[in-house]
Structure 1
Amino acid sequence: MTGGKQEFLLKLRDGGLKDEALVDEFFDLVIANYANGENYYIILVHASYDVPGVTKDGIEMEDASENVYEYLLCSICPVTLSKAGLGYNEEKNVIEERNRDWQVEQPGKGFLFPAFIDRASDIHELLYFTKKPDELHPEMIEALFGTVPPLSSKDQREGFQEIVQETIGEDGDYAIMQNIHENLNQMMEDHEEEKENLSLSKKEVKQLLQDSGVEQEKLEQFDKTFEASFSREDYPLLAGNIANTRKFELETPDVIIKVNPERADLVETRWIDGRQCLVIKVDDHIEVNGVQVRTLRTPGQPNSFLQ
C-alpha cells in the first residue's frame, strides 16, 4: 500500500487520533463506502506495543525492548436490538417482559495498520478482517487503502474450477480430477511447516494440471483461460481456497457419492457390459440407512456380514 491512502493512515497513527478533523474524515470515508443496511459502530484505536528483545538463542527478554510498534486498530461492529423475552423482576417478584436494548456485536469487519511482520512494523502492509469471507466490501477497501481487494475464497475456488473445466473440456476423465485432488493436497501437506500459506502462481497451476495428466495440447489455451477467469495476468491462488481437504464428491443427476478425501483411490471408472460405471472397492462393512448389509460374495461362500 503506497501513496495518498498510506499517508492518510500514517497521519492518523502518528497523530495519535488527536486531530479530530482527520478522525472525522476517516469515519466519513467508512460511512460513505460501507454498504450495510443495518446499524453499526465504528471503533478506531491507537495503541503501541514494546517489542521484547530476543537473545541469540531466540529467548524473549520482556524487560529489554528493541523497538515500539505503533498501530491503528479499527473494528466495525453490528449494533442489533436484543431479542424479546421474559425476565425475572427481583423487586416485584414477578416474571415480566424484558426490556430490549441496542447491543454491540462482535466485529464484522476490521483492519490493523501497519502490519506486524518479523517483529517489526511494515507500513506497506496491513491485515484486513472480515467475518464472512465472501463479503469483502471492495468499495471500502479501495476507498480506505487505495488498493484492489483480493478475491474471496469462493471466487478463487469457482475461478479455479472454471479453469480446470475449460482446460480439460468434455474429454476430461475421473482420473485427472482424482490426480488434481491428490497432487494439490500433497502440495499442501509438504508445505505445512512453512509460515506462509501456500499460494500458486499461474505457472504453478499450469504445472499442477500437467502433472495430473492434462495433455499439452489442452494446455495451449491455459494462459488465456486463466486471465479471463481472474482478470489479471498472474493472480496468486491460495491452495487452501481451491483445494477441498474435507471431502471428495462425485455427482450425477441421480446419485451423489461422498468419499473420504484421503481415500479417493477407492473409486475408479470402468466399462462393464458396455456401460461406463463407477466402481467402489469395498474392504469393510457397508451400511444402508444405518443398517449393516451384505456385500456380493464369492460363489460357494456363505452369506456373512463384513466386520
Structure 2
Amino acid sequence: MNEKEVAEIRRRFRQETSNITHIRGCFVNDQREIVSEFDQSLLSMSQEESEKFLAIIKRTLSGTLGKNLIDISFDTQQVVDGEEHQLLMELKNSSLKNEDAVQTFFQRVIQAVSMEGNYLILLAHDTYDIPYHSHDGDRQDDASSEVFPYILCSICAIKQTKPELSYFAVENVFHNCQENWLVSAPELGFLFPAFDDRSANIYNALYYTRNIEENHAEFVEAVFKTDVPMPAAEQKEIFQSVLGDALAEECRYDVVQSVHEQLCGMIEEHKANKETEPLVVCKGAVKDVLQSCGVSDATVSAFDEKYDAEFGADTELSPRNIVDTKKFEVRTPDVTIHVNPDRSDLVETRMIDGAKYILIRVEEGVEVNGVNIHIS
C-alpha cells in the first residue's frame, strides 16, 4: 500500500463515513488469561464513546510506511490452503460473526504476544464502497466501483491510573478519584486484506508496530506465518555499522556527511514529486555516493560485501529508516554537537599541531548556558 491508499482508509474512521457496526474485544491479563470479552455495538454507544473507539483503532494505520507500517506478503500456497490465511479470510467473510474463528484468533494472539501488563485485543470489520476515480482524478462518491470488506486488528496496552485528588463541580468539593483502567494507543495490529491499487489484495496485509525498535516477530509468525523485516531502528544501527566498518580509515566527516545529505535529498525529492510508492534505495546507490567522495575501490568493495552479509545482496532499504532528515549529530565521549541538517557544511575536522579538532564556523548569536558570548 502507498501513502494515498493508507490515508484513504484512515478517513473511514469517522461516525459519518464508517460502516463499522460493532467491535469485538478481548481483555487479557499479564498471566495470558482472558479476563473478559465483549461484542459492543457502536450504534448503541454515545457519540463520544464511539468516536473514542474509532480514534483508537484508526491509529493502527498511523506512522511511516516501511518503518511503522510494513507490507506482509503471503505466498500462493498460503492463499490456497494456508491455515493462517483461511482464518483471516473467515474473520473477514463472516464479519467477525464466526465465534470459532474469533476464539481461535484470540488464542493465537495471546500465545504469541509478549507484553508487560494487561492488554486489549480489538477486532473491527468494515465494508468500504470505493468511490470511482476518473482518469482526471475527480472523485465520484455516487459511483462506487468496488466494495472493499476488511478487518482491522489493534492490540492496546491497558494502563492503571493512580488515585488523584479531583474537583467535583456539582458538590463544590474535592474527592479522591479511584484507580481506573485506561486503553492506550495500539502497540501493534494489522489491516487485512491490503488495499492495493484501491482494491482488495488478499495476498497482502498491512502490519503496524508502534515501536520502530521492535517488530514483534512472534506475533507475525503466529498470525501470518511469514518473516517480517528487521525493525527500522535495527536497520539504521546495522547500516551505520556496515558503513563505519567498511570505510575504516577512509571514514571521514565529509564522506558520512555526503551519504547523509544525498539520502536526505532523495527523500525530499520523493516528497516534492508527490510520489505515491514508498521510496527505497539499493546498495548500488550508496556505493555511487562513496565513489563520488573519492573512496577507494577496495573500500567500496568491502562495503558491498558487508552489506550483502547483513542485509542480502538484493535487499532495498527505505532511506527514512537509515537517516534522520531532522537530525545531524557529531558526538565524542565528552561532547555532543547537534547541527541543523541543512548546515552540516559549518562543521569540519582538522589536525592542528598533531591534535584532532572539530571546528564549527560561526558568526553572531553564540550562546553558552543561555548567555550571549563574544569570540575574539
Normalising by the residue count of structure 2, what TM-score does the alignment of the two structures yield? 0.73
Q: Which amino acid aligns with 2:112?
A: N
| Secondary structure class of the residue paired with 2:204 | coil
Residue range with higher mean Cα deviation, 83-92 or 251-260: 83-92
Aligned to 1:302: none
Aligned to 2:283: 202
Large movers: runs of 4+ above 4 Å: 88-94
CA deviations 1:30-72 (Å, max 9, x no partner) are 0000011311111111210000112343211111111100101
CA contact under 8 A between 1:162 and 1:229: conserved in structure 2?
A: no
Aligned to 1:138: 217
Residue range with higher mean Cα deviation, 169-178 or 143-152: 169-178
1:258 has 2:338 as partner:
yes
1:37 has 2:116 as partner:
yes
Q: How far did residue 24 of structure 1 move?
A: 1.0
Q: How far did residue 247 of structure 1 move?
A: 2.2
Q: Given the superposition, is the C-alpha separation of residues 48 and 212 from structure 1 closer, same or farther in structure 2, using an over 3 Å criterion?
A: farther
1:242 has 2:322 as partner:
yes
Q: How far did residue 187 of structure 1 move?
A: 1.8
Q: How far did residue 88 of structure 1 move?
A: 4.6
Q: How far did residue 141 of structure 1 move?
A: 0.7
Q: Which runs of 5+ in 1 are unaligned?
A: 297-307
CA distance in 1, matches of 2:295, 2:368: 37
Q: How far did residue 11 of structure 1 move?
A: 2.3
1:225 has 2:306 as partner:
yes
Q: Given the superposition, is the C-alpha separation of residues 250 and 30 from structure 1 closer, same or farther in structure 2, using an over 3 Å criterion?
A: same
1:8 has 2:87 as partner:
yes
Aligned to 1:271: 351
CA deviations 1:91-125 (Å, max 9, x no partner) are 87653322223332232221111111222112222
Q: Which amino acid aligns with 1:70?
A: P
CA distance in 2, matches of 1:88, 1:275: 63
CA deviations 1:127-149 (Å, max 9, x no partner) are 22222222221100111012211
Aligned to 1:288: 368
CA distance in 2, matches of 1:91, 1:295: 62
| Secondary structure class of the residue paired with 2:126 | strand
Question: Max radius of gyration: which structure?
Answer: 1
CA contact under 8 A between 1:180 and 1:212: conserved in structure 2?
A: no
Normalising by the residue count of structure 1, what TM-score does the alignment of the two structures yield? 0.88
Q: Which amino acid aligns with 2:319?
A: A
Q: Given the superposition, is the C-alpha separation of residues 6 and 204 from structure 1 closer, same or farther in structure 2, using an over 3 Å criterion?
A: farther
CA contact under 8 A between 2:151 and 2:193: conserved in structure 1?
A: yes
CA contact under 8 A between 1:76 and 1:109: conserved in structure 2?
A: yes
CA deviations 1:178-211 (Å, max 9, x no partner) are 2112222122222212122321123333333333
Q: How far did residue 259 of structure 1 move?
A: 1.6
Q: Given the superposition, is the C-alpha separation of residues 217 and 56 from structure 1 closer, same or farther in structure 2, using an over 3 Å criterion?
A: closer
Q: Which amino acid aligns with 2:262?
A: N
CA distance in 2, matches of 1:169, 1:76: 44
CA distance in 2, matches of 1:56, 1:200: 30
